[in-house]
């Protein structure tokens, strides 16, 4: 079990220690690669939302979500437009990826990523 997992376990077992342990978890968060936030903002400004979701899934490192995002991109390309139901699923997928981003990068970075969309 990693040190991060041990800290999470301890926080779950001893709620009175959570406020002391939370900074340790934030310190261990990965750093967002340089330029990614601007690139995501640029992509969404250019209406490349699906491509931006694919990039975010890559950055977060979740292969399951990446595969789903790439599948959405293939459907979009096949249809020539974004179907409402596919768009709705993409929105749900984005929310799941952003939740994962909070776990990986911390809440502050996840909030900035959310703002890019």
Q: Give dist(CA 99, CA 110) in Å, integer.
A: 8
The pLDDT, as a whole number, for residue 95 is 97
**Mean pLDDT within 1-16:** 79
State the pTM of this model. Answer: 0.74
- Tell me the chain's radius of gyration from C-alpha atoms: 17
Q: Give dist(CA 50, CA 56) in Å, integer.
A: 10
What size, in residues, is the chain?
Answer: 117
Residue 88 has pLDDT above 70, yes or no: yes
CB 57 within 8 A of CB 69: yes
Residue % of the chain over a pLDDT of 90? 64
Residue 9 has pLDDT above 70, yes or no: yes
Torsion angle of the four alpha carbons 49, 51, 53, 59, in this order, in degrees rounded to the nearest 10: -140
CB 84 within 8 A of CB 91: no
């Amino acid at each position: 079990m990693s040190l991060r997992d041990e800290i999470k376990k301890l926080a779950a077992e001893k709620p009175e220690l959570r406020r002391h342990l939370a900074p340790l978890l934030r310190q261990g968060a990965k750093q967002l690669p340089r330029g990614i936030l601007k690139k995501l903002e640029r992509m969404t400004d250019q209406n490349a939302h699906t491509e931006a979701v694919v990039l975010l899934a890559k950055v977060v490192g979740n292969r399951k979500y990446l595969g789903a995002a790439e599948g959405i991109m293939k459907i979009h390309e096949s249809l020539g437009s974004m179907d409402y139901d596919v768009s709705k699923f993409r929105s749900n997928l984005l929310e799941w990826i952003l939740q994962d981003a909070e776990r990986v990068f911390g809440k502050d970075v996840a909030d900035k990523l959310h703002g890019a969309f």
